[in-house]
Amino acid sequence: MKIKTLKYAAAVMVLGTIGVTAVSAHSMSTGNADADKRITMMKELGMHMKKIAAVAKGEAKYSAALKKDAAGISEISAAMPDLFPEGSGGEKTRSKPEIWSDAAGFDKAVKDFQMAAAGLVAAVESGDQGQIGAALGATGKTCGGCHKPYRKPEH
The pLDDT > 90 percentage for the chain reads 71
Phi/psi region, residue 57 (left: phi>0; alpha: psi -120 to 50; beta: rest), is: alpha
H-helix or E-strand containing 66?
Answer: helix 66-79
The pLDDT, as a whole number, for residue 23 is: 44
3-state secondary structure 27-59: CCCCCCHHHHHHHHHHHHHHHHHHHHHHHHCCC
The pLDDT, as a whole number, for residue 2 is: 46
The pLDDT, as a whole number, for residue 21 is: 46
Contact 51, 124 (CB under 8 A): no
- What number of other Cβ atoms are within 10 A of residue 60's Cβ? 13
The pLDDT, as a whole number, for residue 92 is: 84
The pLDDT, as a whole number, for residue 6 is: 44
Which residues fall within 8 angstroms of residue 82, CB to CB, at 6 or more apart? none
Which residues fall within 8 angstroms of residue 52, CB to CB, at 6 or more apart? 66, 69, 70, 73, 120, 124, 132, 136
Of 87-91, 111-115, 135-139, 144-148, which gets the smallest average pLDDT? 87-91
State pLDDT tens for residues 75-133: 999 999 999 999 898 888 899 999 999 999 999 999 999 999 999 999 999 999 999 99
CA-only gyration radius of the chain, Å: 15
State pLDDT tens for residues 20-37: 444 444 446 777 888 999
Alpha-carbon distance 45 to 69, whole Å? 9
pTM of the prediction? 0.80
> Does the structure show a pLDDT above 80 at 41?
yes
Contact 100, 34 (CB under 8 A): no
The pLDDT, as a whole number, for residue 20 is: 46
The pLDDT, as a whole number, for residue 90 is: 84
The pLDDT, as a whole number, for residue 24 is: 44
